[in-house]
Amino acid sequence: MKKLVSVALEKLKKEGLRITEQRRAILTVLASVDQPKSAEETFAILPEDSCDLVTAYRCLEQFEKVGVVERGVRENGTKVYCLGHGHGHHHHLTCRSCGRTERIDLCMGTELDAVAKSFGFTEVTHVMEVFGNCPTCV
Amino acid sequence: MKKLVSVALEKLKKEGLRITEQRRAILTVLASVDQPKSAEETFAILPEDSCDLVTAYRCLEQFEKVGVVERGVRENGTKVYCLGHGHGHHHHLTCRSCGRTERIDLCMGTELDAVAKSFGFTEVTHVMEVFGNCPTCV
DNA sequence: ATGAGTGCAAATAGTTTGCAAGCTG
DNA sequence: CAGCTTGCAAACTATTTGCACTCAT
């Protein structure tokens, strides 16, 4: 998991962003969990006084901008972020009641790109989240 | 377009929901636009004093619960709703700057269902939105 | 030293809730 | 006429912004 953090930090540097204790802490949290987290959740896991909640929001936004983290959306609209798990783009299956998350590699990014481009759209991105009730929560 | 509204009203009745002027107005708006709208946007299009913004929120929530409308999420997390266009489940390609929306029939709901069920998840739903910059906005 | 990054306070956007009054079936 | 619906006010959650100060480079 340590590696994920240093790779991320490396990328930050490459993109001209500065490396601070706060950013290192946030990335460490994201690397230690296996599910996408919202800014507030990430903040809650952070060691006491690592940084301000606002900083968490700002950092995550920056991280996303340079591609260090991927952003998803919860069923209720909350934005969530996760490190690329070293495997780039992927999606998640999340339990509505307990939040348990499984990784899904299924993705039709290529097809979507093609369709979007046929409409003349550029810089195509997509958000996809799958929700359900997991076996232990039924 | 009129037909869409009456079909929807019919469904409401079948589900035990009451038919009011407010609901009719909201459905009429959704039927008249070809893109998913948020509660606030829908409210803004509504003829003056059709109903309260809160009512729009509540109605859309009810509509979704009984399957009269489908819910999606914008890139920024805003919830959006649209009538089924009479063709059930589908997705959208939305321009980030002007909001222009194209319908996409591409969907891997079946595959997602299968994967989710293999994890033991039930009541599987998914949210997918595609974003890009449309040709006239470049 | 200089501008990116941070903390704190306060403002926003979007949405939800409580409650009394109104209207539908 | 019972109870689903609505309107209004107010609370809330998630997120953003302004500004002075600090720290990484």
Min Cα distance A124 → chain B (Å) is: 4
Q: Which of the listed residues B72, B87, B102 is the one where a domain comes to its end? A: B87
The CATH number for A122's domain is 3.30.1490.190
pLDDT above 80: residue A138: no
Q: How many domains does one find in chain B?
A: 2
The CATH number for B72's domain is 1.10.10.10
Region B33-49: mean pLDDT is 91
* B126 shares its domain with B101: yes
Region A51-70: mean pLDDT is 95
* A78 shares its domain with A26: yes
Closest partner residue to A106 among B76, B108, B134, by Cβ? B108
* A93 shares its domain with A81: no
Task: Return the half-sphere exposure (C-beta side, CA atoms, 13 A cut-off) of residue A16.
Answer: 1
**A39 Cβ within 7 A of any nucleic strand D atom:** yes
* A60 shares its domain with A25: yes
CB-CB neighbours of B22 under 10 Å: 16
pLDDT-derived band at B53, boundaries 50, 70, 90 = very high
Full residue range of the structural domain in which residue A97 is found: 89-138
Closest partner residue to A123 among B119, B127, B132, by Cβ? B132
Task: Give chain D positions with protein CB within 7 A.
Answer: 4-10, 14-18, 23-25
pLDDT-derived band at B1, boundaries 50, 70, 90 = low
Region A64-72: mean pLDDT is 90
Region A107-133: mean pLDDT is 89
**B25 Cβ within 7 A of any nucleic strand D atom:** no
The set of residues, in sequence order, having a beta carbon less than 8 Å from that of A4 and lying 6+ positions away, is A27, A31, A83, A85, A86
* A58 shares its domain with A83: yes
CB spacing of B78 vs A79 below 8 angstroms: no
CB spacing of A134 vs B119 below 8 angstroms: yes
* 8 A C-beta contact, residue A128 and residue B126: yes
pLDDT of residue A133: 87
pLDDT-derived band at B88, boundaries 50, 70, 90 = low
Q: What secondary structure, in 3-state letters, does chain B show?
A: CHHHHHHHHHHHHHCCCCCCHHHHHHHHHHHHCCCCEEHHHHHHHCCCCCCCHHHHHHHHHHHHHCCCEEEEECCCCCEEEEECCCCCCCEEEEECCCCCEEEECCCCHHHHHHHHHHCCCEEEEEEEEEEEECHHHC
CB spacing of A131 vs B135 below 8 angstroms: no
* B95 shares its domain with B74: no
* B16 shares its domain with B68: yes
For A98, nearest residue in chain B (alpha carbons)? B121
Task: Give chain C positions with protein CB within 7 A.
Answer: 4-10, 14-18, 23-25
